[in-house]
Each structure stands twice: as structure tokens, then as C-alpha cells.
Amino acid sequence: FSAQHSLHPGAKFHSCVPRTEKDCAQTLQASSPSYSLPVSFTVSVDYLNMQWLRRFLTPLGICKFLHRFSLHRPQLHRWLISGDGAQRWNDYDSPEEFNFASHVLDYWAQMEGEGKRGPGPALWWVNDQGDEIKWSFRELRDLSRRAANVFEQTCGLQHGDRLALILPRVPEWWLVTVGCIRTGVIFIPGTAQMKAKDILYRIQMSQAKAIVTTDSLVPEVESVASECPGLKTKIVVSDHNHEGWLNFRTLLRSASPDHTCVKSKMKDPMVIFFTSGTTGYPKMAKHNQGLAFRSSVPSCRKFLKLKTSDVIWCMSDPGWILATVGCLLEPWTAGATVFVHNLPQFDPKVIVETLFKYPITQCLAAPAVYRMVLQKNISNLRFPTLEHCATGGESLLPEEYEQWKQRTGLSIHEVYGQSETGITCAIFREMKVKRGSIGKAILPFDIQIIDEKGNILPPNTEGYIGIRIKPTRPLGLFVGYENSPEKTSEVECGDFYNSGDRATIDEDGYIWFLGRSDDVINASGYRIGPTEVENALVEHPAVSESAVVSSPDKDRGEVVKAFIVLNPEFLSHDQEQLIKELQEHVKSVTAPYKYPEGGVCFRIAQNHHRQNQKKGTSK
């Protein structure tokens, strides 16, 4: 065992039949009297991978015992998984086949049917107009099967095809996502704030065969559709019909609720996230089924510790990986309720009212949300059901942590992750909160602070956050940048993936985030590549050259600030009016969150290279 499977004295056994360690030891000894299980050595077992079990347990003479259990192959959340960190999960340990829809959602639908799950819905959606939708897991199962049939039968999409998913927080986002997983179609989330230029880039780069979007983005898609010959199917989520578009709601009503879920391999691609970088346009971070499977591992869910009775409100934009993880994979794996308030924009008053009105037990939001609530000076913030608060994307100030704790009675627990990694570090619920720390590594990640060559640095030494990828790549880490092997190679540093984020680690294993090593701007959790904004600015006739940097902001952490070299004919224009015009221009050609909110500074000299300008500018 020790040599072949990296198990050692102290490795912990987690039972899910349920059985205790004593029960298992007695079973092993009864099946093979000559075998003695040491008190200090217990075994981690994966009942779904029966062939693997038979291979190394056959010498113990318990094949009949295993065969008896294989007839009742337990579902995903019952898997036996080592949870103490003694053995890290990798591709060898994981099952060959896995599909989140069939192994997780269909299981909870079955539990509901048998009366073995509480009355809480799987999805609880509300908006400001008083509309409310509640779907049970059984309803979610049937509706997502209908969605799968829409994609396969009506749209002709097949396993491995790609679908661009650009929707706001509407219930159909969850149906499309799960429908894609059921069919093996790779979904590509994007924020509904995107403009035509953003959409064009994503469709062309991803080679998406289909797009699902909303009414407001139909004109944006139509304006670039002729430049996307591979885009065969356009689907709108609407109560109205559009010429040349399929109506998702209409098709869903007529589709069959009977569907056979694809048998996905663990290494099959599941989702692609676009992630901003310092240079060029966003890269495509491709994830396989391991991203969903990782949420199934109990030791990986310590930071939220969701239960079936929990109601979690994750306020992430549907275009980001946090929404996929925090609004779908994590809560539904635990059988919890996903709460969604379709806010057009964050309003602290509405957020507070929502936390009082609905039985929300966990809240996951950007620091800007907590900051806005605190700044409103609302007298009562003792929310009746709220038990846990988490944040990520940037750090709160120490005084903001303290204010929240004093006024709500709850600590804010930080999480950290990227589009490439999902959530990798966190202050777990049972951990001591060290204000300003992003916590400790979440299994299966082995996180170290490294230098440029991949050497591990000692505690309290500044370096890069590195995730070990050798000898085995951990589940949940992206496969690579699609169509960019050179970009993938750039972030592989020795035995580690180099996140590009600077940090230190203390003697207790707490990680302290210091910032990006590049020029990526983090505004309220939105990652903005300078090049994207610079390219938008130079499209304006007034702009000869542009350089974009981050500027500190008390509400959003960082905002975009632009330095502009004007063309001569615009030198006499009113600068205040021109600033407003340039800001509106950026909003019109790319996602509005990228506009230079931090202001625009004009430069007269026209012989400075953009990079030289950046190096000479001050935040």
C-alpha cells in the first residue's frame, strides 16, 4: 500500500456507507483473518472505482465484499475520500467517468423523490419586480433534460461542440449550463455587459457553434454574426421572437423531459473561461470535468461546509468562474439551495432588505458589496439567519473587517482563486481568521510560495503563489490555455503553476496576498487587461496613443486610469467634455466595467512609446 498508493501511517479513512473505521477494520479482518489492520493505518477507498479497488484489494480476499457493494454503486457524494491532506487527489485517484448532472443533480432528485431531502428548493430566484421562481431538484432535472434535448435535437450540437453563454442572472443560465453538461457541450460563460467587439472576439477564438443570450444583446450579436461563419445557431432567452433566432423558452416547453446523459470522461473538457492578461486580449482557460468533481470531494468543501439546509447567495457575475463554482457546483453537490437576486446593479439597501427577508445562511460577495453596506450606516445589520460570510477578488481593510464583525456578529472569511484554478485558498469556517490573509490551501492543491524558477521560498519571503503540478496535476486546475501552448508553458515553472500573484506564507501556513506581478487591474473583482482598454481608446479619433494603469479606489479597490496622447486637431477641445466623451466611448465598445473611472490624463508629447509611458506614470 505504502509504495504503490502513497499511503502511510496516519492516513485517514472516511466512511460513507455509513461505517466507522472500526466497522471497516472488522469487515476486513472477517474477510481475511490472516490480515491485521494496524491501528495507525487506515485506508481511503473509492467505491465507484471498483476495478481499481479489486486490483489492489484482491490479495486481502474481499472480492465478494466489494462485488456486493458494486451492485449498489453509491452516488458521488458518498465516495470515500481522504480528507486530512495525507494523500492529495490526482488523476490516478479519480474515477474514469464522471458527469455532474447525472452523478449529482439526478441523485438529489432521487433523494427528493424518496423523501430523504428537506423541503428547500434547488434554485430560488427573485427580482425587484416581485417575481419568484423555485425549482426543486426534480424540476431542475427535468428542465435541464429538456434543455439537453433542445441542444442535441433542435440545434444539432454534439459532445465536444462549444456554446457561448452570455446571460444575466436569469434562471435559464442554470438550465443552459446543466443542459450543456448533460450533452457534453462545452459552455463558455461571458458577462452580459459585453459589447459587439467582445462577443466577436470570443466567438471567433472559441469557435463556438452556438450562442445563448438575452434580448438586449441580440443587436450586438447580429452586428458581428457575418464575421463568425462557424456560428450556426443563435438562441435567445426571451418572451419575444427575433428573426433568425431560436427562442429557448418556446423550445424548452415543447422538448421531452427524457434524456440519456452523456458518459463523460474525467478528462473531457467541460467549460472555458476567458481571462484577462497584461498583453493582448483575454486567453481561454479550459477546464475538464475535474472542476466539478473537485467540488464533490468533502475535503475540498471545507471553506463553506454547505449542508442541505443551507441557502447560499453568491453574488458573482454569471460570466466568472466564481458563479460556476459558488452558484452551481459547490451548493448543488451538497444538496443546498442556490439563492439568486437578479439585481441590475448592487444596491446596499436592497441587499440588506434581502438578507432580512429571505432565509439566507451563507453569503459570498465581492469586498465592494460589504463595503457599500457598511458605508450606508444602516442601524441594524443583525441578520436573523445569516451564519457565514465570505469574500474574494480583493482584500478588505482591517477596519472594515472589524466594523462588519461588530455590526453583524459575523467574521468575513476570504477566499482566493483565478479563472485558471477555481477557489484554491480560503479561511475555512473552523479556522482562526487572520485579517488580511487569504487563508490556507484547499485540497487537492499543494500551494507554495516560489521564485521565478519554481524554487520554494521560506516563510515570510515574498514570491509567487505556486500550485504544484508535478508529478501529478491536481483536479480542478485548468488543462491549459486553449490554442496557446506557449502561454501555457509560460505559467509552468518547474514543478509548479505560477499564478502571477505575489504573496507570502507565514509559519502557520496562512497566505498573504500582495498583488499582481503584472499590470492586470482588479476592480471589484473584475480582472481588466490594460490592452483591452487601450485598444478601445485608440479607436476614438482624438486618441493617438494610450496607456492604462490601475488607480487606488476606496470603494472598488482599483479602477482604470488612462493616459492619453491627443491628436493635434483635438488639443484645443474642452478637456472635461473630452474626458466624458472618452469614458462613454469605452463603455460603448467594450464591457462598461472597463471604462477609465479613475480619470483621463492628457499628454501632449507624441514620441513616447506606450510602455515607456506606463513606466513613468504614477498610480
pLDDT single digits (tens) 270-326: 999 999 765 568 899 999 999 999 887 766 677 888 999 999 999 999 999 999 999
3-class SS at 456? strand
pLDDT of 130 strictly over 80: yes
Give the separation between CA 390 and CA 411, rounded to whole angstroms: 8
**CB 563 within 8 Å of CB 601:** yes
* Closest-CA residue to 49 (of 21, 70, 71, 24): 70
Range with lowest mean pLDDT among 232-236, 319-323, 337-341: 319-323
Report the alpha-carbon distance of residue 419 to residue 282 in Å, rounded. Answer: 11
- For residue 397, what pLDDT band results from cuts at 50, 70 and 90? confident
Centroid of chain to Cα 289: 13
Q: Is the pLDDT of residue 91 over 50?
A: no
Contacts of 536 (CB under 8 A, 6+ apart): 197, 585, 586, 589, 590, 594
Q: State how far the Cα of 333 lies from the Cα of 37, in Å rounded to an integer.
A: 33
Pairing of strands 362-365, 311-314: parallel
CB 368 within 8 A of CB 524: yes
pLDDT at 58 > cutoff 60: no
Q: What angle (nearest 5°) sits at the alpha carbon of residue 477, between those of residues 501 and 325?
A: 95
pLDDT at 113: 95
Can you tell me the distance from the alpha carbon of 188 to that of 194, in angstroms, rounded to the nearest whole number? 13
Question: What is the grid cell recorded at 445?
Answer: 492543491
C-alpha cell at 438: 487569504
Tell which residue, 600, 587, 501, 588, has the closest CA to residue 542.
600
User: Which of 33-42, 339-348, 473-482 has the least mean pLDDT?
Assistant: 33-42
User: Does the bond joining 471 to the residue before it have cis omega, within 30 degrees of 0?
Assistant: yes
Alpha helical stretches, state H, 312-395 = 321-324, 330-333, 348-357, 367-375
Q: What is the mean pLDDT of residues 547-559?
A: 79
User: What is the C-alpha to C-alpha distance for residues 177 and 287, in angstroms, rounded to an integer?
Assistant: 14
- 512: which strand partners? 504
Q: What single-letter DSSP state applies at residue 35?
A: -
Q: What is the 3-state secondary structure (H, E, C) of 517-562?
A: CCCCEEECCEEECHHHHHHHHCCCCCEEEEEEEEEEECCCEEEEEE
CA distance 294 to 299: 9
How high is the pLDDT of residue 50?
A: 37
Burial per residue of 445-482, b for 16 or more beta-carbon CB atoms within 10 angstroms, e otherwise: bebbbbbeebebbeeeeebbbbbbbeeebbbbbbbbbb
The DSSP secondary-structure symbol of 268 reads: S
Task: Give residue 550's Cα distance to chain centre.
Answer: 24
Which of 95-104, 336-345, 571-580 has the weakest average pLDDT? 571-580
Length of the chain equals 619
Q: Rounded distance, CA 250 to CA 212, Å?
A: 14
* Mean pLDDT of the chain, nearest integer: 82
The residue ranking higher by pLDDT, 473 or 600, is 473
Q: Are 530 and 549 in contact (CB under 8 A)?
A: yes
Q: Is 619 exposed, middle or buried (0-12, 13-18, 19+ CB in 10 A)?
A: exposed
Distances (CA, A) of 74 to 28, 63, 105, 265, 354: 20, 17, 14, 18, 38
Q: Rounded to whole angstroms, how far apart are CA atoms 129 and 170?
A: 13
Q: Which string of DSSP letters, residue by residue, matches 469-490?
A: -SSSPPTTS--EETT-HHHHHH
Block residue for cell numbers 491501528: 39
Residue 559, pLDDT above cutoff 60: yes
What DSSP character marks residue 281?
S
Share above pLDDT 70 across residues of the chain, in percent, rounded to a whole number: 80
Tens digit of each residue's pLDDT (9 = 90 or more) over 177-221: 999 999 999 999 999 999 999 999 999 999 999 999 999 999 999
Percent of the chain with pLDDT over 90: 56
Measure Cα distances from 237 to 154, 212, 240, 252 in Å. 15, 7, 9, 10
More confident site: 283 or 444 = 283
User: What's the pLDDT score for residue 525?
Assistant: 65
pLDDT at position 93: 56
DSSP assignment of 500-511 equals EEEEEE-TTS-E
Confidence grade of residue 519 (pLDDT, cut at 50, 70, 90): low
Between β-strands 521-523 and 463-468, what pairing exists: parallel, antiparallel or unpaired?
Answer: unpaired
Q: Which helix (H) or strand (E) holds 315?
A: none
pLDDT at residue 299, as a whole number: 63
Q: What is the mean pLDDT of residues 470-494?
A: 94
Q: What is the mean pLDDT of residues 149-171?
A: 98
CA 1 to chain centre: 35
> Hey, which residues does 521 pair with through a beta bridge?
528
Q: State yes or no: pLDDT of 247 exceeds 90.
A: yes
Query: Does 16 have pLDDT greater than 70?
Result: no
Report how far residue 83's alpha carbon sits from residue 89's, in angstroms, rounded to the nearest whole number: 10
Confirm if 391 and 368 have CB atoms less than 8 A apart: no
Q: pTM here?
A: 0.76
Q: Which domains does the chain have, with CATH numbers?
A: 2-78 (no CATH), 123-505 (3.40.50.12780), 521-616 (3.30.300.30)
**Residue 483, CA distances (Å) to 209, 281, 310, 552, 554 in order:** 17, 13, 40, 34, 38
